[in-house]
Amino acid sequence: MLRTARESVCLICRSAGTPARAGREPYLAQRTFATRVSEGRDGRDRRTTPTRMVLSDNVGRSTAAREDGPRRPRNAPDGPFAGMNRTTANINHSRRAPPPPPTTTTTTRPPRSTLRPAPPPGDRAASQLPREPRAPYDDSNKRRNRPDGPFAGMNRTTANIDPTKARGAAIAKASETRDGSDRPERRDRRNGKNERGTMKALNMQRALTTINYGQRNSIKDRMQVVESFDQFDLLPIMQEAVVSEALQGMTDIKPTPVQRLAIPALLGQRFGPKPRSKREPPARTEFLLAAETGSGKTLAYLLPTMNALKQAEAEDTSAAAYEQRLAAEKTRRGVEPLSQWIENFEPHPNAARPRVVVLVPTAELVDQVTRVAKKIAHVAKLKVRALSSSFSALKNQRNLFSNLGVDMIVATPHLLRSIATSDPNVLSRVSHLVIDEADSLLDRSFSPETIAIVDRAMPSLKQLILCSATIPLRLDNFLADRFPDITRITTPNLHAIPRRVQLGVIDVCKDPYRGNKNLACADAIWTIGKEAAANAGTPTTPAAAAAEIDVKRIMVFVNERETTTAVAEYLRSKGINAVALHRDAGDQREKDALLADFTSSAPMKTTAEAAAALAGGRRHLANTRVIVATDIASRGIDTLAVKHVVLYDVPHTTIDFIHRLGRAGRMGRRGRGIVLVGKDDRRDVVAEVKQSMFSGSALV
């Protein structure tokens, strides 16, 4: 009965009511249950106590009570998650490798054959024998850059560097001792750290594709082969057009670097040894002409394309038959003007079907390229027409649909695509397509129209020419995807502003400007005018005041369209003859007349009396003329007369740096650029651009 009553009490109450004995087992109260004796593997008797609760037999037992069995090591807890709530690190100190010996000699472990063999498992006496001391572990072969486990090196406080891999410093040091030079710039080149490695700001906003310098050297070697235009496989009439019209007035007529490389490639002419393998020429050839601004790219693609036009004209029997009928009609009508009856005559086979199409981004470039092409066409007897937004709709229609026919069209993509949409056959006979300023025409604003024109002209296209002063990363990726077999023709100085253009920096935040960019811009222009006047001499007599003086033409570039008008008005208030130029500024004729003064290489003259009358009695600068423009005037405009460029705003990318500073120092002339740096402008970018210009390296 007593036993039955005791068993009805729970385990905890029984443990609390039973006095605990101090000694080996602090929880010995649990052993009041009936025990079972079993024989273990080692021959000892092992007592186990069953439990009536759904618990493990180890619950309530301490580690010290397990004297009847082998002790479990601390680094092997029970179960996969048994060590999650530990408060101490589960580290076995006996496994830690000893520190390396202080001496330089390392002690290696003896081979296994010299060690004492292990005793048999049942021989207990043999296990009690003293063992030979273990040799210290040699960790010299363990590489420090390979920590144990995938995350073992996360909490390191020292750099995980393998000194055996620092070969660059040792090689540089050995080369210094060999040639005896300790100059830092040479050491930097040996270690691969040239001036490009220090351009951190430009590398962070990288926008241009880099050109290998080894490739630049090979290009220079190929350029040395060509010395004159006579070496090109041009028709005699084209050779005459170059000398008499295209380069009229020049004494030393030699092709520029891009012309030496591009004209033979577009003509299919090869200098040097011929290739051994004879491959059939492809049905369509694709070229990319990339050269610095002001290097003569327009003439480089016009000469080969117009030469191909003359060759195709000689093989066209329908055009020859039309010319015979037209000559007979002229003879029959006598002295009657052609313009009075040509509209009633049969149309030319090339009417509204040009063979060459040149695409440019702006109306100003349409006029400029058309002017150069007409000089060549005047001698070569070709018909070149322009399609521009500055013309009326009737004039554009007459230029394209004239009965006399058209051989070459120079147009903007938006206008030509709208015409091709209404008349799809306009592009049905195009054999040569030129995309000038390809970095702009294949950008987001022009890309849909340009690609649509390329797709329409692709069936009859024989040659596709892309021309640009820069190769942005976006254009490079587009060409690799759309035209993977395109032939790239680049000059050695691509993406580099020539050294003949000097760059000066004005800190607007300092005195006397105190953050006023308008004042800094006006002061820079006044300084340029005063220097020119000092070199020309100050008029002291009425006759000298009435004499002509040279006018300096200066371009000021801003980032926003609204800024042009405000800056131009401020400069006029300071006595400077300044005009704003942007897409919405005035009539197209006024803009063309304004740009004509800056694109002409002829010197501009004025008198001090005329300048004083223009100023209206106020303080004025007589010998300067300024254009305040956006990027509309920075792409392709051949500003030969401009020697000074002021960057009112710091350009957003290096591409704008190249195009804006490229308005000065064109065709081998010297130029000067001035950058106004304000509080919010990137001074590090300006400093690195100036350093690149000084060293002659390419921008990125």
Residues of the chain with CATH 3.40.50.300: 220-270+283-313+349-490, 501-695
Q: Which two tokens stand for residue 689?
A: 């651009």
Report field, pTM of the whole predicted structure over 0.85? no
CA nearest 270: which of 310, 231, 227, 216? 231
Give the pair of three-digit tokens for residue 644.
């000074």
C-alpha to C-alpha distance for 170 and 180, rounded to whole angstroms: 15
**In the predicted model, what is the mean pLDDT of residues 206-213?**
72
Q: Nearest Cα to 647, choosing from 637, 633, 635, 661?
A: 661
Residue 193 has pLDDT above 50, yes or no: no
Closest CA to 358 of 340, 342, 376, 343: 376
At 32, the pLDDT band (50, 70, 90 cuts) reads very low
- pLDDT average, residue stretch 14-24: 51
- pLDDT for 172 equals 47
For 232-291, how does the pLDDT look when each residue is reduced to its tens digit (9 = 90+)?
Answer: 999 999 999 998 887 877 767 889 999 999 999 999 888 766 666 667 778 899 999 999
Q: With pLDDT > 90 as the criterion, what percentage of the chain qualifies?
A: 31
Average pLDDT over residues 637-656: 88
Q: What is the band of 375 on the pLDDT scale with cuts at 50, 70, 90? A: very high
**Confidence category of residue 608, pLDDT binned at 50, 70, 90:** low
pLDDT band with cut points at 50, 70 and 90 for residue 581: confident
Give the chain's end-to-end CA distance (angstroms, integer).
Answer: 100
Q: Which of 166-175, 251-260, 666-675 has the lowest mean pLDDT?
A: 166-175
Q: Compute the distance between CA of residue 90 and CA of residue 95 in angstroms, rounded to an integer.
A: 12
Give the pLDDT score at 292: 87
* Record: fold of 501-695: Rossmann fold (3.40.50)
At residue 603, the pLDDT reads 76
Task: Tell me: pLDDT of 20 over 50.
Answer: no
How far apart CA 246 and CA 242 sit, in angstroms, is 5
pLDDT value of residue 413: 94
Q: What is the mean pLDDT of residues 364-383?
A: 92
Highest mean pLDDT among 6-15, 131-140, 272-281, 404-413: 404-413
b/e burial code for range 198-225 (CB count within 10 A of at least 16 → b) = ebeebeeeebbbebeeeebeebeeebee
d(CA 671, CA 226): 28
94 vs 74, residue with greater confidence? 94
The answer to whether residue 650 scores a pLDDT higher than 50 is: yes
> Tens of pLDDT along 346-370?
888 888 999 999 999 988 899 999 9
What are the φ and ψ backbone dihedral angles of 509, each rounded to 5 degrees? -70, -20
Question: How far is Cα 657 from Cα 651, in angstroms, rounded to an integer?
Answer: 6
Cα–Cα dist 366/216, whole Å: 32
Give me the phi and psi of 581, to 5 degrees please. -135, 115
pLDDT band at 537 (very low <50, low <70, confident <90, very high): low
pLDDT band per the 50, 70, 90 thresholds, residue 587: low
Secondary structure class of 407 (helix, strand, coil): coil
Greatest mean pLDDT among 114-123, 175-184, 479-488 lies in 479-488
Q: Are 571 and 578 in contact (CB under 8 A)?
A: yes
Q: Hunting for tokens 């593997």 — which residue is that?
A: 41
pLDDT, residue 278, reads 65
Task: State the pLDDT at residue 666.
Answer: 80
At which residue do the structure tokens 């709208």 appear? 418
Superfamily name with CATH number, domain 220-270+283-313+349-490:
P-loop containing nucleotide triphosphate hydrolases (3.40.50.300)
Mark out the alpha helices in 461-574 (DSSP H runs). Answer: 473-482, 517-536, 542-546, 561-573
Average pLDDT on 511-520 reads 92
Q: What is the mean pLDDT of residues 173-179?
A: 44
**Average pLDDT of the residues in 50-79:** 49
Q: Give yes or no for residue 293 having a pLDDT over 50.
A: yes
**pLDDT for residue 57:** 44
pLDDT at 84: 65
Mean pLDDT: which of 17-26, 74-83, 500-509, 617-626 is highest?
500-509
Q: What pLDDT is recorded for position 246?
A: 78
Q: Which helix (H) or strand (E) holds 464?
A: strand 463-468
Asked if 595 and 641 touch (Cβ cutoff 8 Å), the reply is no
The 3-state DSSP composition of the chain as helix, strand, coil percent (nearest 5) reads 40, 10, 45
Helix 393-401 vs helix 413-422: crossing angle, to nearest 10: 70
Contact 646, 554 (CB under 8 A): yes
Q: What is the mean pLDDT of the chain?
A: 77
Cβ(501)–Cβ(664) below 8 Å? yes
How far apart are alpha carbons 539 and 576 in whole angstroms? 19
Other beta carbons within 10 Å of 288: 22
Average pLDDT of span 661-683: 88
